[in-house]
A and B are shown apart, each in its own frame.
Chain A
Amino acid sequence: MPLSEAEKTFILHGVDENFRQDGRDREAYRPMELETGTVQHAFGSAHLRLANTDVLVAVKLEIDAPFPETPHEGKLEFFVDCSANATPDFEGRGGEDLAVELANTLASAYQSRQAFDLRKMCILKGKKCWKLYVDILILECGGNLFDATSLAIKAALHNTQIPKIKAVNIDGDNIEIEVSDSVSDCEKINIENAPVLVTLCKIGQHCIVDPSLSEEQCTVGSMVVAATKNCVSTISLLGSGSLHQDTLFQFLDFGCKIANRLNEALMETLANISVTNENVGFLK
Chain B
Amino acid sequence: MNSDSDNSISEKEVPEKSSANLKLTEILEKYHIIFKKSQVPKIKEKKKKHTKKFIKKYIVQIVKNISEQQLKRKIQNMKTEVKKKTDISATGNKNIILNLWERQLLTLVEGKEKPSFSKDTRGHGTYEEDGDLKASVAGVKEQVNKLISVRPLKSRYDGQVGEVLVGRIMEVQQKRWKVDTNARLDSALLISSVNLPGGELRKRSLQDQHSMRQYLQEGDLISAEVQSIFVDGTLSLHTRSLRYGKLAQGILVKVFPSLIKKTKLHYHNLPFGVGIILGNNGYVWISPPVSTTELEGNEGGFVQNLEEVIPRDIREAMARVRNCILALAQSYMMLFNTSVVVAYEESLKYAVHELLLPEVMIDVALLTQQRMNMMEDYEF
Q: What is the interface of chain A, defined by CB distance below 8 A to chain B? A: 1-7, 9-10, 13-14, 17, 19-25, 28, 30-31, 33, 51
Complexed CA–CA distance, A21 and B316 (Å): 9
Sample of 12 A–B contacts (CB below 8 Å):
A1-B168, A2-B219, A7-B221, A7-B250, A9-B306, A13-B310, A14-B315, A17-B315, A19-B312, A24-B356, A30-B356, A31-B356
Q: How would residues 327 to 357 of chain B score, 1 for a CB under 8 Å from any chain A CB and 0 otherwise?
A: 0000000000000000000000001110111
List B contacts of A6 (CB < 8 A).
221, 247-250, 304, 306
Answer whether residue B319 sits at the interface, using C-beta atoms and an 8 A cutoff.
yes
Q: What is the CB-to-nearest-CB distance from A90 to chain B, in angstroms, rounded to a whole number?
A: 19
| Contact A23/B351 with A6-B249, A7-B249, A14-B315 known, Cβ cut-off 8 Å | yes
Question: What is the chain B residue whose CB lies nearest that of A21?
Answer: B251
A22 touches B323 (CB 8 A): yes
Q: How would residues 198 to 241 of chain B score, 1 for a CB under 8 Å from any chain A CB and 0 otherwise?
A: 00000000000000000000111100000000000000000000
A4 touches B221 (CB 8 A): yes
Question: What is the chain B residue whose CB lies nearest that of A17?
Answer: B312
List B contacts of A20 (CB < 8 A).
319
B306 touches A22 (CB 8 A): no
Question: What is the chain B residue whose CB lies nearest that of A5?
Answer: B306
List B contacts of A13 (CB < 8 A).
249, 309-310, 315
Interface size on B, residues (CB 8 A): 29
Point out which of A3, A4, A10, A20 has the most chain B C-beta atoms below 10 A from its C-beta. A4
Q: How would residues 347 to 373 of chain B score, 1 for a CB under 8 Å from any chain A CB and 0 otherwise?
A: 000011101111000000000000000
Q: Which of B168, B312, B322, B358 contacts A21 (CB 8 A)?
A: B322
| Contact A31/B358 with A3-B219, A5-B306, A23-B320 known, Cβ cut-off 8 Å | yes
Q: What is the interface of chain B, defined by CB distance below 8 A to chain A? A: 168, 218-221, 247-252, 304, 306, 309-310, 312, 315-316, 319-320, 322-323, 351-353, 355-358
B219 touches A23 (CB 8 A): no
Q: Which of A10, A22, A31 contacts B249 (CB 8 A)?
A: A10
Complexed CA–CA distance, A23 and B352 (Å): 5
Question: What is the chain A residue whose CB lies nearest that of B247?
Answer: A6
Question: What is the chain A residue whose CB lies nearest that of B350?
Answer: A23
| Contact A23/B355 with A10-B250, A10-B251, A10-B310 known, Cβ cut-off 8 Å | yes
B310 touches A4 (CB 8 A): no
Q: What is the CB-to-nearest-CB distance from A151 to chain B, in angstroms, rounded to a whole number?
A: 17
Q: What is the CB-to-nearest-CB distance from A20 to chain B, in angstroms, rounded to a whole number?
A: 8
List B contacts of A19 (CB < 8 A).
312, 315-316, 319
List B contacts of A23 (CB < 8 A).
316, 319-320, 323, 351-353, 355-356
Complexed CA–CA distance, A19 and B320 (Å): 12
List A contacts of B251 (CB < 8 A).
7, 10, 21
List A contacts of B218 (CB < 8 A).
2
Complexed CA–CA distance, A14 and B218 (Å): 23
Complexed CA–CA distance, A28 and B357 (Å): 13
List B contacts of A9 (CB < 8 A).
249, 306
